[in-house]
């Protein structure tokens, strides 16, 4: 099994290079918009097609509605869920007073204050993935919701532990952070805890702030098509 | 595990401490005693449902002997610690002696209120203890400042630490002045289960593995297959108040046994027959291979006839503990070394 992944979004190879090393946590700063979760779903789905496990950590939407969203783009996730390759960490539904239960592929967390439960669930998923593959993808959406309920220091402490676990277990993926929602000190501290930062604006223009690998392209635009994103 | 006036379950991030709270609650409630549960990081009903998944039937006690304080809702609505204090004090006064007050996770309070939360929890602990009740909290050790951790550590009569070593979960507590470390697992359903340490004895063919195991236990069993040295020896024996599972794996085919037992193995003893230098290089390969998989290894030197140091030099495994195991003696040293990991 290779120690790097392909980012899998058409054209984005020029930014993230053809093979991106595993064990990296990237920050994706973006205005709150629905395209962000589509980006996450495509990133995870691309890995699943290659046999790489993936976990989507959602604080702003239910896995059920994200699953439907993915299906609209032709990304069926249920097969991978049945094979144990795809997991959801749902930090949204219980907090939103929905009457939901855990399933084989969906682990529900009590709410954004339950950081201990979140770290336990991440550890359990990591250990399950280890039996299936050397590396896995993750998408954490979003740190801004975590910051709505927790103090910045609490989130830093959480990230300090979680990013190191993700890196050591060969995870590779994105944490999202709302653009313009937090003060500069928070942005900078979170950037400091990550291996790289990429920024998106409302027109889906992407710019690289820093990356752990050399990149040929530092600016470009994501276009959302019926089959997913294309970067140009 | 100690069940004292006040107890703090101190867990590394990623380890489940809540099932311990559930276990202690259920044990307490089964005695017909009363308890108050403060849930800080999720709706309290979610905690009760989680408990049911682990097999702890807490819901049947609700409103009769188990009383929930849904502090999560209050925290979400920006209520302070004063409100929590008032609620707990009111409830404990009604319940009286022998009641138990549990906090499912005090880290949430510390995250929100810092040092003030620790001070208020200490106040509550004193209050509960003065009323004749017990006070038990679970805590996740996020990277807090050392003064906060020290203050917290000093504030409870007993602390039970939950840690992982090589993917195995341990709970540790002080007993008679020294720490006791016990393996555990958490299952759904099944809850918290104490596990026996599992040690595996391997080594080149004829190095004395089976004799070592048989010398330790009169109820060892060999599952032979095809030839004398192809099978698994198994023995269960008591060592310093602990029951230990011991497995002997075949000399040339130990890998499937190690794979099968996987992360449940606490340590590996590699036996070497010191009178057969021709087996040393093979033994070295076995040690390296097992260490690469992340197992704790101790080498037992069997049948040492010449000087021990001379044998150690010839075996050439400087970074691994080498213990002489002549005629099955020195078991204590071997096990204390393996279990001390």
| Model confidence pLDDT, tens digit, residues B33-83 | 999 999 999 999 999 999 999 999 999 999 999 999 999 999 988 888 998
Coil vs helix vs strand at B233 = strand
CB contact (8 A) between residue A94 and residue B142: no
Q: How many domains does chain A have?
A: 1
Q: B43 or A9: whose pLDDT is higher? A: B43
Average pLDDT, stretch A11-24? Answer: 82
Strand-pairing partners, residue B170, are B163, B183
% pLDDT > 90, chain A: 81
More confident residue, A52 or B206: A52
Task: Write out residues 52-111 of B within 8 Å (CB-CB) of A.
Answer: 53, 72, 75-76, 105, 107-108, 111
Helix or strand or coil: residue A140? strand
Q: What is the CATH number of the domain that holds A133?
A: 3.40.50.300
Can you tell me the distance from the alpha carbon of A131 to that of A177, in angstroms, rounded to the nearest whole number?
A: 31
* pLDDT, average across residues A30-45: 93
* Four-point Cα dihedral A141, A143, A149, A152, nearest 10: 170
Please report the pLDDT score of residue B13 as a whole number: 94
Tokens describing residue B59: 């819901």
Please tell me the predicted confidence (pLDDT) of residue B339.
Answer: 64
CA-based nearest residue to B211, from B238, B244, B239, B251: B251
A157–B144 CB contact, under 8 Å: yes
What's the burial of B29, exposed, middle or buried (CB within 10 Å: 0-12/13-18/19+)? Answer: buried
| CA closest to A97 among chain B residues | B43
What separation in angstroms does the CA of A75 have from each of A82, A119, A124? 15, 28, 25
**CB–CB contact B14 A151 (8 Å):** no
Q: What is the pLDDT of residue A51?
A: 94
* DSSP letter, residue B264: G
**Average confidence (pLDDT) over A54-70:** 97
Confidence of residue A2 (pLDDT cuts 50, 70, 90): very low
pLDDT at position B220 is 67
Answer left, alpha or beta for residue B43, where phi above 0 means left and psi between -120 and 50 means alpha. Answer: beta
> Scanning the structure block, which residue is given the tokens 């906090």?
B103
Stretch 193-212 of chain B: residues touching chain A, C-beta under 8 Å: none
Judge contact between B245 and B197, C-beta under 8 A.
yes
Least reliable range by pLDDT among A58-72, B244-258, B304-318? B304-318
pLDDT in tens, A161-205: 999 999 999 999 999 999 999 999 999 999 999 999 999 999 999
B77 SS3 class: coil
- Pair of tokens at residue B72: 């999560």
CA distance B72 to A163: 26
pLDDT at position B243 is: 81
Q: Do A113 and B41 touch (CB under 8 A)?
A: yes
Say how far residue B105 (Cα) sits from the centre of its chain: 19
User: What is the band of A112 on the pLDDT scale with cuts at 50, 70, 90?
Assistant: very high
A24: containing domain: 4-231
Binning pLDDT at 50, 70 and 90, where does residue A1 land?
very low
Return the pLDDT at B230.
Answer: 53
Question: A73 in contact with B at a CB cutoff of 8 Å?
Answer: no
A127 touches chain B (CB under 8 A): yes
**What pLDDT was estimated at residue B341?**
58
Question: Which tens digits make up the pLDDT trace of B277-294?
Answer: 888 888 888 888 888 887
User: Using CA atoms, how far apart are residues A130 and A132, in angstroms rounded to an integer?
Assistant: 5
- Closest residue of chain A to B10, computed from CA coordinates: A116
Is residue B96 within 8 A of residue B130, CB to CB? The reply is no
Question: Hey, CA dihedral for A116, B125, B184, B59, is it positive or negative?
Answer: negative
pLDDT at residue B115, as a whole number: 94
User: Which of B13, B42, B108 comes nearest A161 by C-beta?
Assistant: B13
Q: Which of B72, B142, B167 sits opposite A161 (nearest CB)?
A: B142
Cis (ω within 30 of 0) for the bond into B189?
Answer: yes
Q: ipTM of this model?
A: 0.84
Do residues B110 and B144 touch, judged by C-beta distance below 8 A? yes
Q: If you average pLDDT over every residue of chain A, what do you get?
A: 92
Which residue in B16, B108, B143 is closest to A113 by CB distance? B108
Residues found in chain A: 232
Question: Which residue matches tokens 């302070």?
Answer: B80
In 3D, which of A114, A75, A111 has the Cα closest to residue A93? A111
Place of tokens 């009363």: B34
User: Averaged over B250-254, what is the pLDDT?
Assistant: 75
- Taking alpha carbons only, the member of B295, B268, B265 closest to residue B197 is B265
> How far lies B328's CA from each of A148, A210, B271, B282, B331, in Å?
63, 61, 11, 22, 7
Query: Is 80 exceeded by the pLDDT of residue B205?
Result: yes
Could you tell me whether strands A54-58 and A196-200 are parallel, antiparallel, or unpaired per DSSP bridges? unpaired
Q: Do B76 and A94 touch (CB under 8 A)?
A: no
Question: Does the pLDDT value for residue A113 go beyond 70?
Answer: yes
| Spatial distance between the Cα atoms of A221 and B48, rounded to a whole number of angstroms | 48
User: Of B323 and A42, which is predicted with more confidence?
Assistant: A42
**pLDDT tens-digit series, residues B310-333:** 777 777 777 788 787 665 556 666
**DSSP 8-class letter at B140:** E
Q: Name the residue facing A116 among B41, B76, B143 (closest C-beta).
A: B41
Span B168-199, pLDDT tens digits: 888 998 877 778 788 899 999 999 998 888 88
List Cβ<8 Å contacts ≥24 apart for B114-120.
B114/B148, B115/B148, B115/B151, B116/B81, B117/B81, B118/B148, B118/B151, B118/B152, B118/B155, B120/B81, B120/B84, B120/B85
Subunit contact B13:A149, Cβ cutoff 8 A = no
pLDDT digits (tens, 9 = 90+) for B119-166: 999 999 999 998 889 999 999 999 999 999 999 999 999 999 999 887
Q: How far is A154 from chain B (nearest CA, A)?
A: 6
Residue A158 reports pLDDT greater than 90 = yes
Give the per-residue pLDDT at B229.
Answer: 47
For residue A191, give both structure tokens: 């950037």
A186 and A17 in contact (C-beta within 8 Å)? no
**What is the distance between the alpha carbons of residues B90 and A221, in angstroms, rounded to a whole number?**
60
* Predicted confidence (pLDDT) per residue in A203-223, tens digit: 999 999 999 888 878 899 999
Cα–Cα nearest to A27, from A225, A187, A217, A222: A187
Domains with residue ranges and CATH for chain B: 6-195 (3.40.50.300), 198-340 (3.40.50.300)
Instruction: Kindly state the average pLDDT of the residues A79-101.
Output: 94
Provide the token pair at B141.
Answer: 């050790």
């Amino acid at each position: 099994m290779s120690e790097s992944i392909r980012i899998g979004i058409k054209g984005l190879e020029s930014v993230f290079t053809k093979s991106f090393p595993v064990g990296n946590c990237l920050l994706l700063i973006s205005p709150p918009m629905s395209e962000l979760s589509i980006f996450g779903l495509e990133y995870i789905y691309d890995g699943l097609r290659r046999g790489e496990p993936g976990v989507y950590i959602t604080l702003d939407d239910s896995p059920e509605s994200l699953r439907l969203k993915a299906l609209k783009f032709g990304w069926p996730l249920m097969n991978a869920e049945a094979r144990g390759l795809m997991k959801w960490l749902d930090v949204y539904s219980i907090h939103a007073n929905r009457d939901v239960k855990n399933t084989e592929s969906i682990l529900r967390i009590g709410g954004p204050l339950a950081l201990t439960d979140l770290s336990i669930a991440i550890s359990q998923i990591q250990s399950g993935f280890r039996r299936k593959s050397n590396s896995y993808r993750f998408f954490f959406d979003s740190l801004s919701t975590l910051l709505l309920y927790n103090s910045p220091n609490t989130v830093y402490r959480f990230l300090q532990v979680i990013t190191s676990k993700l890196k050591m277990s060969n995870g590779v993926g994105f944490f999202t952070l709302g653009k313009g929602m937090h003060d500069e000190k928070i942005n900078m501290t979170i950037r400091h805890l990550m291996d790289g930062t990429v920024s998106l604006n409302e027109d889906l223009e992407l710019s690289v702030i820093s990356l752990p690998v050399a990149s040929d392209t530092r600016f470009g635009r994501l276009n959302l098509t019926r089959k997913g994103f294309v970067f140009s | 595990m100690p069940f004292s006036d006040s107890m703090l379950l101190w867990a590394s991030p990623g380890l489940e401490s809540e099932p311990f709270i559930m276990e202690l609650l259920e044990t307490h409630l089964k005695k017909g005693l009363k308890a108050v549960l403060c849930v800080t990081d999720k709706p309290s009903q979610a905690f009760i449902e989680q408990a049911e998944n682990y097999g702890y039937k807490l819901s049947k006690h609700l409103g009769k002997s188990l009383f929930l304080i849904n502090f999560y809702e209050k925290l979400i609505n920006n209520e302070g610690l004063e409100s929590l204090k008032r609620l707990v004090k009111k409830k404990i006064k009604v319940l009286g002696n022998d009641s138990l007050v549990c906090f499912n996770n005090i880290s949430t309070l510390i995250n929100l209120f810092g040092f003030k939360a620790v001070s208020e929890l200490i106040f509550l602990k004193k209050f509960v203890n003065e009323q004749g009740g017990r006070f038990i909290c679970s805590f996740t050790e996020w990277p807090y400042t050392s003064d906060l951790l020290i203050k917290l550590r000093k504030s409870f009569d007993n602390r039970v630490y939950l840690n992982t070593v090589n993917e195995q979960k341990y709970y540790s507590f002080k007993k008679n002045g020294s720490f006791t470390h016990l393996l555990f697992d958490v299952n759904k359903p099944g809850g918290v289960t104490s596990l026996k340490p599992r040690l595996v004895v391997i080594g080149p063919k004829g190095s004395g593995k089976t004799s070592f195991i048989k010398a330790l236990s009169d109820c060892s069993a060999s599952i032979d297959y095809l030839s004398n040295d192809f099978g698994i020896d198994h023995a269960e024996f008591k060592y310093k108040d602990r029951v230990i599972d011991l497995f002997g794996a075949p000399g040339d085919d130990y890998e499937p046994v190690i794979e099968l037992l996987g992360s449940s193995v606490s340590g590996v003893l590699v036996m070497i027959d010191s009178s057969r230098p021709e087996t040393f290089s093979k033994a070295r390969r076995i040690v390296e291979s097992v260490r690469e998989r992340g197992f704790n290894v101790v080498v037992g030197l069997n049948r040492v006839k010449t000087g021990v140091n001379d044998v150690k030099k010839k075996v050439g495994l400087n970074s691994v503990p080498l213990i002489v195991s002549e005629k099955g003696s020195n078991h204590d040293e071997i096990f204390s070394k393996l279990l001390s990991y």
